[in-house]
Structure 1
């Protein structure tokens, strides 16, 4: 088990799109490469190694990642549960100590690059990298022909230092995005947060709903998450950041079986808050799973349960934070 990486509060990141030039002052960067879905503890180890190498070389540290995710490019019809949506992923990445994020467009032309072309044309010619850091399982280039060993061997011709980071283990198993997705699908927020090394969070625009929560005494901020979001339907204790201010709350993610059984929504009730959230994009961090989504016989029974859920969520929000999974929101 590793200690959480020190982090900065989440803030708007500096993003470089595709082949846009690097900003002034970001020349000759140390580049950490990967998909970084979730920016979990294993990814944080790669970022930390890039930060250390950049400090030693006196250069900026930058993450190079790919959008859309290669899996989505190669299998567009197959839903993919992204742990952290764009641009939230970039903000989380920067919070863990890099200076900027390059979001490289993963298209047919890029997918056709050989491993050698990626090193020569992208890392050396395009970005003039001073160093490269990758995880132990990083593969790249057409047909995934490139490996960490290939990268180290090929980079020697350019005197380019390459650091390969070993996996971060939890109970003798590498921390992985797949394990975190499995935990979220099960509603196991505690495990997901522990593997992430911070409280899992989502962000989306608040949209108009049917205002039913207001009539029940529980007005909610309604957010449509990505259709592929695999989070288990149910009730969660959460914290929400709105305009820089944190609010405890209780959230329901699901289809509202007591009423319409419609498309999934994240409906969040903020405690001790009044105001208009429409059009805003608050961040919602998940503290704990409370219960599964249920169908109630009548509205009165639902409200009684909502009262219980709110009391439990308030109590959870007052507990000292788990040092293994701190908040990125402050």
Structure 2
């Protein structure tokens, strides 16, 4: 009972922090809006300028940040559970890079311009990212397999595949015109600048379906952490569940990359923080990681929008500045 109270309190605190950050972020930006004016605008009594700024620019961007943060955090938690590797993350392992390459190829061949995406392409981009992420995951596991997959071998192969996809991305970008090249570069560094409600509706169904499904499958992550022999003895179809969970993780990462670019380290940091707060039981840890990821990305986006205003720092760079030292710390602790 004490453990459940602690978990409930932790989740409640995280949700309150999200609400506070969300409201503060609505106030801040190139056009500052007073808190009272924000409330008036949300209730339908604001000026036309405030309505334009809040409903057409800030709100969709912040909702995107919450959705992507939750999706990447759950994706990272699944990867860590499936691989039994605390260093696993869709950005580090190259899954984000594979998804990003597929999206850039889709943009390049489908429309020839990253600036003029139609509504059809916006909704097709997550599917392209899914295929790219699956290709990356297949390559990583195939190359890393040597009578099994060890955690360090998985990380090293993932870093290599990440570098290979990064080189391929540069080659494709060089074939774009300069304006599209700059847009693709900023987007791939992890930028949710310029998002609108169409992008929200493109990623929302993926998060609303896949995150609850991941929580439903969380018990298999607990079983897999006991080892393949024990998991098989308990009646689990180990390889089937591992493949399904891997596809689930890649689908979450791909849908997030499609609208938010390559945001690394969030899928690494959020599950670790959630695990420290509520423990390793995945039925509780996964939703906590989702909330933690949403909070971290919302904070990072607020910092990126305002730290060097009127210029913006891509949110992926802000997350990397936080996550990279933590990754090095975890790597030093790994035997």
TM-score range, shorter chain: under 0.3
Q: Comparing both structures, which one devotes a greater share of its residues to helix? A: 2
- TM-score, normalised to structure 1's length? 0.24
| Larger RCO (CA within 8 A; separation ≥ 6) | 2
Whichever of the two has the greater Rg, that structure is 1
Q: Comparing both structures, which one devotes a greater share of its residues to strand? A: 1
- TM-score, normalised to structure 2's length? 0.23
